[in-house]
Amino acid sequence: MNKTNRKKTIIVLFSLLILLLPVISAAAVESGAEIVYFENPSGNLVITGPDGENIKSDFGVILPVGAKIETGGGVLELKLVPNGSILKISSGSSFELRALQSEGGSKENIFALLRGKLRTLAARSGRGERYTVQTPSAVAAVRGTEFINEVGENGSSILVRHGSVYVESLNGSRWVTLEANQGLDTRSADYRPVTIPIQEIESIFSAFAFLGADPSAVPGAPPESGADGGGAVPAGSAAGAIGQPVTEAVARDREYETKSYSDKSNFGRWISDSLGGDIGTTTIEGNTYSKLVLSPVIDADKFRMALYLPVIYVDLFDTGSWYHPRGNNEWSFGTDQSGWQNVVSDIWMDLWLKVRYVEYGDAEFDPFYFKMGNLNTMSLGHGALVYQFANDYDFPAVRRIGLNMGYEKTVGFEVMVDDLSRPNLMGLRLSVSPFKSYKAFEMGLSGVADIRPAMEADNPGYYGNPWFMAASLDMDFLEVITGLLKMVWFADTSALAPIYRNDADAVDFPNVKAGPAWDMV
């Protein structure tokens, strides 16, 4: 390795390691979950250890990693040791303690809720705490917040009181970040958060209050003082056992984080929470690599942006062993190119490889929206031709620069491209609202082309090396918008036809000839 590359490598690694220090610091030397409260009126609360042996439910008992809990008619409250987070598990629940963050061990706390209800008040002490709650339909990632998971026969729901929770479907095709006073039903078609009135949030959490665990003792927890200024809450108060009656001012005071980061502990906490990180191994194209990843997320009202800053390597100090997506050294920024056009192109590509996605606006509610990067919700019009298309199915092994944007007024348009660097799927929709007095009526014309649908095949020519074109005509008749709900009455008609670049195999596909196959429309 020459001196220039060695110097560049050291600068990149030093920068990443400095930013990752709060993330990689260990949470604890020894870990467990202490029983701080339980009810077992029916006697069918069962706890088993990782070896399958029963564990007695009693105050002060420390449950190890791998413990499984069937509450039956009972209720259980746990305190993570020495982390300080507290959990409440309802009756009729099936719960597993799959991992606890520890020095030299797991990098996060992992719980599984297979059935029932779980309330979590996650500690936030600035030491890089990470939590994951797995359910049969989704995975929730947390770094310090208060929320309730509930799993029923047909799906699961999540309700956030403080902080934020990142939720992803099991197949990774849909994800969303829930903020304070928001909920999500994982069965919903659009995976969109629903804002819930603060009074209703407090009522729900009050009905599932901690009885033995002390919320005020959880590191980083919000103040929970009652109306009398102490810890007790007058009977009949709107917030029950959780706190004083809630107003907008009280809700603001209860936010986890102060907006000032003047002291070192708060600054470290901000770094840990804002700059998500990951250290471990990954398998790409059959090869195993180590990885150092920094993944900060910016969410400011309508603007959302997520970065992906990876060092994926075999030998950390040999840049030649680092993973190069599509053969490109993404940390070179043009230094390995010659000719100003190649240098500029490489800088542009390397910069965009660091962006997971950037979004502005909402296609359903805003006149202008813009999405670019690795996306999983690209649509065109009402979705007759393209709906919720995902170009990130093999992220991060392959990172793409997808584009989905639109503008809607009297005359509007929508555009989608699966990957600007190597486009395969492209679409355009033009629309017009001809009546100024009735803007809900709209006519749209869409066209989509998939130019390489057989690119994954070993021999595309065997199938005639086709490409597909499709078109649709749509009309909106009525539109109703009420708060979070938007209803549109519309009609669509569409058609699709393949166009073959060459004759297909004469034996297996004798009727497939070069040219458009209009008879297949």
**In this predicted model, what pLDDT tens digit does every residue of 27-61 receive, in sequence order?**
334 578 999 999 988 888 999 998 888 998 889 89
**pLDDT of res. 89:** 96
Specify the CATH number for the domain of residue 222. 2.60.120.1440
Peptide bond into 50 cis (omega under 30): no
Residue from 39, 46, 108 nearest 74 by CA: 39
| Residue whose pair of structure tokens reads 């009526």 in the numeric block | 441
Q: Convert the pLDDT of each residue in 496-521 to its tens digit.
A: 888 888 888 777 787 888 888 776 65
pLDDT band at 397; cut points 50, 70, 90: confident
Return d(Cα 298, Cα 8) in angstroms, integer: 27
Same domain, 310 and 374: no
Token match 């990142």: residue? 166
- Tokens representing residue 259 in the block: 């907006």
Q: 370 by DSSP, 3-state: which? A: strand
∠ CA 174-113-272 to the nearest 5 degrees? Answer: 65
Residue range 206-218, pLDDT digits in tens: 999 999 999 988 8
Write out the H or E segment, with its range, that includes residue 248. Answer: helix 248-253
Distance (Å, whole) CA 352 – CA 414? 22
More confident residue, 484 or 230: 484
Are both 75 and 211 inside the same structural domain? yes
Is there a single domain that holds both residue 208 and residue 89? yes
Between CA 411 and CA 420, with CA 417 as vertex, the angle to 5 degrees is: 125
Shared-domain flag, residues 311 and 397: no
**Same domain for 237 and 283:** no
374/341 same-domain check: no
**Bridge partners, 352 (sequence order):** none
DSSP, collapsed to helix, strand or coil, labels residue 27 as coil
Domain of residue 36, residue span: 31-253
384 with 467, same domain?
yes
Give the pLDDT confidence score for residue 5 in this predicted structure. Answer: 60
Q: Check whether residue 350 and residue 396 sit in a common domain.
A: no
For 418-439, the pLDDT digits (tens) are 998 889 999 999 999 988 888 7
Question: In the chain, how many domains are there?
Answer: 3
The two beta strands, 194-195 and 182-185, are: antiparallel
* Same domain, residue pair 291 and 239: no
Domain annotation covers residue 298: yes
Residues constituting the chain: 521
Report the distance separating Cα 95 and Cα 460, nearest Å: 49
Alpha helices in 162-286 (DSSP H): 198-207, 248-253, 264-274
- Tokens read off for 419: 């990957």
**Which backbone phi and psi does 381 adopt, to 5 degrees?**
60, -135
Evaluate if residue 359 carries a pLDDT over 80: yes
The pLDDT tens digits for 84-108 are 899 999 999 999 999 887 644 566 7
- Give percent of the chain with pLDDT exceeding 90: 22
Please tell me the least confidently modeled range out of 33-37, 146-150, 275-279, 414-418. Answer: 275-279
